[in-house]
Amino acid sequence: MNPVAPDGTFRGTSWPEIEGKLVTDKETNRLIIERLKHDGRWLETRPYTHSYPHCWRCDSPLIYYARSSWFVRTTAVKARMLEINRDVDWHPPETGAGRFGEWLENNVDWALSRDRYWGTPLNVWNARATASIAR
């Protein structure tokens, strides 16, 4: 179970002192250090300056949150997609070799389950239908 809820607070922990507190709060860090010291599990604390991700809209701190994801294994069909792309009648022609062709060449498996974009329409096409339209 992940002890960090989607809202960035600790949930379901065995530490009542941090329950419901934001993981990005400096007070939470202090409470965790105190608990580790109390339990004999603390080694040392050092100041460390690092860059921290922030929301580009509201400038609030962001957390990296481990989640399960669904992927489409597009790398398994990369060669076939490149082959089909060569037969598409692109307008303008440089699109197939340029922007779209370069995207296909650099293809990586596609994460479908990114929460921020869930519900975004997916471009899906049938190679046979595309080939018959191009003729």
Q: What is the pLDDT of residues 81-116, one digit of tens each?
A: 999 999 999 888 888 889 889 999 999 998 877 665
Residue 100 is part of which domain span? 71-134
For residues 19 and 38, state if they share a domain.
yes
- Domains contained in the chain, number: 2
Residues 99 and 49 both lie in one domain: no
Looking at residue 60, its pLDDT comes to 83
d(CA 99, CA 83): 16
d(CA 128, CA 46): 61
Comparing C-alpha atoms, which of 39, 17, 38 is closest to residue 29?
A: 17
| Assessment of whether the complete model's pTM goes beyond 0.75 | no
Average pLDDT over residues 6-22: 91
Residue 49 and residue 1 share a domain? yes
The token pair that represents 78 in the structure block: 């990369």
